[in-house]
Structure 1
Amino acid sequence: MRLFSTLLTRSFVALLALSLGACNANNDMSPASADLAAGDGKGGSLARFTVLNNTLYVVDNHSLRLFDLTTPTAPARGQVVPLNMGIETIYPRAPYLFLGTQQGMYIFDASAPAQPKQVAFYEHVMSCDPVVVDERFAYVTLRDGRSCGGGPNQLQVIDLTNLSQPRLARTYPMQHPLGLGVDSMLLFVCDKDQLKIFDTQNTPELQALQTFDVNVSDVIPNRGQLLAIGPGGLYQYRYRNGALTPLSKLSITPTN
Structure 2
Amino acid sequence: MKIYRMISAFAIVALFSGCESDGASFDSPAASGGGTVGQTGSLARFAITQDRLFMADDQRLMTYDIADVEAPLYVSSQYENFVIQTLFARDNNTLFAGGDRGMAIYNVSDGQPNLLDMYIHIQSCDPVVADSTHAYVTLNSNNGCNGVSQLDVLNVSDLSNIQEIRSISLDNPKGLCILGDRLYVCNNGVMVYDITDRDNPQFLRTVPITDAVDIIAYRGSFFITTLTGVKIVDIDENGVVTERSSLW
What interval of TM-score do these two structures reach, taking the shorter chain for normalisation? 0.7 to 0.9
Using the TM superposition, give the Cα deviation of residue 183 of structure 1 relative to its aligned residue in structure 2, in angstroms: 1.9
1:70-219 alignment, distance < 5 Å:
70-94=67-91, 95-113=93-111, 115-145=112-142, 147-149=144-146, 151-191=147-187, 193-214=188-209, 215-219=211-215
Change (3 A) 1:81 1:9: same
Alpha-carbon distance between aligned partners in 2 of 1:22 and 1:58, rounded to the nearest angstrom: 18
Contact 1:217 1:229 (C-alpha < 8 Å) held by counterparts: yes
Deviation at 1:128, TM superposition (A): 0.4
Q: 1:170 to 1:240 in 2, by over 3 A?
A: same
The alignment-based identity, stated in percent, is 28
Q: CA deviation at 1:241?
A: 5.1
Could you tell me how far apart the structure 2 residues matched to 1:85 and 1:14 are? 24
Q: Are 2:125 and 2:143, in contact at CA under 8 Å, matched by a contact in 1?
A: no
1:233 corresponding residue in structure 2: 229
Alignment partners' CA distance in 2, 1:162 and 1:199:
23
Q: Deviations over 1:197-237 (max 9, x none)?
A: 11111111112222122211000012311110101332222
State the match for 1:247 in structure 2.
Answer: 243
Range that drifts further, 203-212 or 50-59: 203-212
Q: TM-score w.r.t. structure 1 length?
A: 0.84
What does residue 59 of structure 1 align with?
56
Give the direction of change, closer, same or farther, for the CA distance of 1:228–1:140 in structure 2 (3 Å limit). same
Whichever residue aligns with residue 222 of structure 1, its letter is: Y
Shift of 1:59: 0.6
Cα deviation code 1:41-92 (max 9, x no counterpart): 4110011111111011101101110111223332111111111242101000
Partner in structure 2 of residue 12 of structure 1? 9
Using structure 2 for the length normalisation, give the TM-score.
0.86
Q: Quick one: which amino acid aligns to residue 250 of structure 1?
A: S
Q: Which runs of 5+ in 1 are unaligned?
A: none
What's the Cα RMSD here?
2.6
Q: Is the 8 A contact 1:20 1:225 kept in 2?
A: no
Distance 2:97 2:201 in 1: 23
What is the count of residue pairs matched by the alignment? 241
SS of 1:127's equivalent? coil
The 3-state SS of whatever aligns with 2:174 is strand
Q: 1:19 to 1:52 in 2, by over 3 A?
A: closer
SS at match of 1:112: coil
Could you tell me how far 1:240 is from its partner in structure 2?
A: 5.0
Superposition pairs for residues 27-66 of structure 1, below 5 Å?
Answer: 30=27, 32=29, 41-66=38-63
Q: Which runs of 5+ in 2 are unaligned?
A: none
Asked if 2 retains the 8 angstrom alpha-carbon contact of 1:68 and 1:78, the reply is yes
Tell me how far apart the structure 1 counterparts of residues 105 and 9 of structure 2 sit (CA, whole Å).
25
